[in-house]
Structure 1
Amino acid sequence: MLTTSLRRLRLCSPALASLLLAAACGGPGGGGDGVDAGLATGCSTTGCPAGERCSAATDACIPDGTCAGNADCAAGMNCDLATHTCAGCGSQELPIEAVPPHVLLVLDRSCSMRQVPAGVTTTDTKWMSAVAAIGALTSTFADDVRWGLAMFPDSEGEHCAQAAPAVPIGPDTAPLIGDLLTSALATTDVNYPDFPCVTNIDTGMTQADALLSPLTGPEREYAMLITDGAQSANCDLGGGDLGSERVVAEMHARGIDTFVVGFGGSVDKVQLNKLAVAGGQARPGVTQYFDAATAAELQVALDAIARSVVSCSLRIDPAPADLGQTFVFFEDTEQVPRDPSHAAGWDYDPATMQLTLYGAYCDRLQDRTVADIDVVFGCPQPIVD
């Protein structure tokens, strides 16, 4: 049974991309740096008299065998300020990793994307607005999500078929996606929406299935369909509307959900509702897909989707030996309860070695209102800086 280890996780930025699980725990008085435990100062320069040593925590002389802060103790130990002695678990630092989801953007680049949305005062085309919104999305959530980009119709080969994706899913793809789409604003670029002039949602989603289904890691996979139109009747290599519904439903059955975004007033509302339901991400109400009539609404929709998929799971390796002696804290003091029912709290899955937060605690991570998490094994208290 693990009774002598305390490990700490600090979130240094809103992104859950670089996390560290630090080990230490203290005695009854807690621990901390910055205590003035001696009259002399600057002892690293002046030295200390016999029977005293220079505190690494305060740069002041302290009696031998005592401490004034954690820096005076060995690795994995804390200074108990009640007794000014080092105590603790003596464990080592171990890495901890976030588990970012995989999201494939399935973007409509049909000719109608060159049009200005109806009822707006801007001269920006739907393509210009989509490029700007996706660029902001992928850069904002660059550390939280592993992005990929596929566009339909494909500019190469048979007009209703799909070739290779523009940007395969992977780490650090946000700049690649941004650069590719920015280049596609030029009318001479191969990805500019001028040819072919078809809307092949069916083969676009079939390609998404082929790209997402082989991924076998612990990450969740999602597709995000963004379209301004309806399936072309003369372009049904993937089965047309029924084919789109079938492949999206099959993806959902395998745990790959699809978010559906309709941009502008020319979308097939009935069909997009069906795809949203089949994809497992139907919204409440009559309009069950994300309906964006303007560039601003498109940005809001994409941002909402991204926040909803940000992972609330943390991979912990090695696994805690005793979940009964595992504790989680927000912001140094707020203890998060363990909740095996997954309603509100945390739980640990030994099969995936992931600690996952649920309910309002997960919401706070996704909303980026939590800056510090302590995960404590064996010691029921976090380290307070």
Structure 2
Amino acid sequence: MLRASSIYSVVVLAALSGCTSSGEAGSGSGAPGAGDTPGYGDVGGGAGEPGSVPGDLGSDGSASSAGDGVDCGRQNFDVERKPASILLVLDRSASMQDDPNGDEGTPSKWDIVVPALQEVIAATNEAASWGLKVFPQGDRTGSCTEESFPRDILIPIAASNAPTVNQAISSTTPEGDGTPTGDAINKAVEYLQTIQNDDPKYILLATDGDPSCPKSDSDELAVQAVTDAAAAGFHTFVVGIAAQASKIKALNGLAVAGLEPRQDPDPDAPRFYLAATKDQLVTSLLAITGEVSTCLFPLAEPPPNPDHVGVFVGEQSIMQDTTGTDGWNYTGPDMTTIKLYGAACEQVASSGAGSVKVIFGCKDDPIF
């Protein structure tokens, strides 16, 4: 179930790099202090018993004076979880007027996509900040002409933007010539790079298959654009309506390159999110928006040592998992946001954000 954005009180205990060799922390005797948290060893790596965090923090974030000495300075941060920013890149090429399977009398691709998008965008108005870009531009201007290539962001990303985005979608018609997917993604990245905040940012590409512009190497250029977007820090989720094998192959390539492929134990299953029916697309979109908005925790600053970080939910320690399957990992090379996956994410969704804590260990001393 999707949940509205809320403030997560993520306690970040930053044991910064000014460590001494005393091995003492908190009470100095190894006994847990009044503010100890179960599940972790002594941050200083010295006298504390396993399963304790040394001492209390003063109101200014400094270590308590309960003991004879403190081996690391600490700061206490209250972090507000921010909603993910999602730029919808919507294919409005004329082929979106076709039905998905070539059957007469069935809803067109456009008639499936539009109401599903609008339903999910409205439902996630508080959990995500939405924006909209459509491609190609112009109506019947000629396939792959300069006039058809996407240039503008129709609706910039903003908080509580669902009504504006949905109105713009309602005003959009599938009348464009050609499918310049690569150019649309490149323009999306140019726009996202102008947004000066630390909110996690994603591209949601909704299309019906093969890129067709430019007329040569369009598939390769589209995959390269999505690859470059991911390298710039903007992962791409791909939602597609496709029945033909060639289009499924193209969509799979885009989904994998975007670093957010659909997870399925069946190796032959599509890697993109399916949209053969409205209900199926709603399910896919809810999975995507739930993934990006539920378990992301911005940190006030990168850790002194990225390998000396502990994360736990309640009293349960969570191990780092770089595969993104079950545990936690950094979302990017700046290491200023962590993301929970699998059972850890599900537990946070059910128990509330106040149960999540992150501990930064000393630069030279691991937490455990």
Normalising by structure 1, what TM-score?
0.60
Match of 2:233 among 232, 252, 255: 255
- CA distance in 2 between counterparts of 1:259 and 1:168 reads 19
For the residue of structure 2 that corresponds to 1:282, the secondary structure is coil
- Deviation at 1:148? 1.6
Match of 2:163 among 175, 194, 204: 175
Q: Which amino acid aligns with 1:240?
A: S
Identity %: 27
Gaps of 5+ in 1: 1-12, 29-87, 185-190, 379-385
What residue in structure 1 maps to residue 123 of structure 2? 140
Residues 167 and 96 (structure 1), Cα distance of their counterparts in 2 relative to 1, 3 Å cut: same
8 Å Cα contact 2:204-2:239 kept in structure 1: yes
- Deviation at 1:124? 4.0
Residues 238 and 173 (structure 1), Cα distance of their counterparts in 2 relative to 1, 3 Å cut: farther
What residue in structure 1 maps to residue 243 of structure 2? 265
- Deviation at 1:236? 1.0
- CA distance in 2 between counterparts of 1:213 and 1:111 reads 30
Are residues 1:227 and 2:207 paired? Answer: yes
8 Å Cα contact 2:311-2:319 kept in structure 1: no
For the residue of structure 2 that corresponds to 1:236, the secondary structure is coil
What residue in structure 2 maps to residue 192 of structure 1? 173
Are residues 1:161 and 2:149 paired? Answer: yes
Are residues 1:295 and 2:290 paired? Answer: no
- How many residues are matched? 290
Match of 2:4 among 3, 11, 15: 15
Residues 279 and 91 (structure 1), Cα distance of their counterparts in 2 relative to 1, 3 Å cut: same
- CA distance in 2 between counterparts of 1:292 and 1:95 reads 40
Q: Which amino acid aligns with 2:229?
A: M
Q: Which amino acid aligns with 1:222?
A: Y
Residues 160 and 240 (structure 1), Cα distance of their counterparts in 2 relative to 1, 3 Å cut: farther
- Deviation at 1:213? 3.8
Gaps of 5+ in 2: 12-32, 35-55, 61-75, 360-368
8 Å Cα contact 2:138-2:148 kept in structure 1: no
What residue in structure 2 maps to residue 373 of structure 1? 354
What residue in structure 2 maps to residue 62 of structure 1? none
- CA distance in 1 between counterparts of 2:156 and 2:303 reads 35
8 Å Cα contact 2:10-2:353 kept in structure 1: no
Residues 210 and 129 (structure 1), Cα distance of their counterparts in 2 relative to 1, 3 Å cut: same
Query: Hey, which bits of structure 1, 4+ residues long, moved more than 6 A?
Result: 119-122, 318-321
- CA distance in 2 between counterparts of 1:220 and 1:352 reads 12
- CA distance in 2 between counterparts of 1:276 and 1:376 reads 32
8 Å Cα contact 1:327-1:335 kept in structure 2: no
Q: Which amino acid aligns with 1:290?
A: Y
Are residues 1:236 and 2:227 paired? Answer: no
- CA distance in 2 between counterparts of 1:136 and 1:19 reads 26
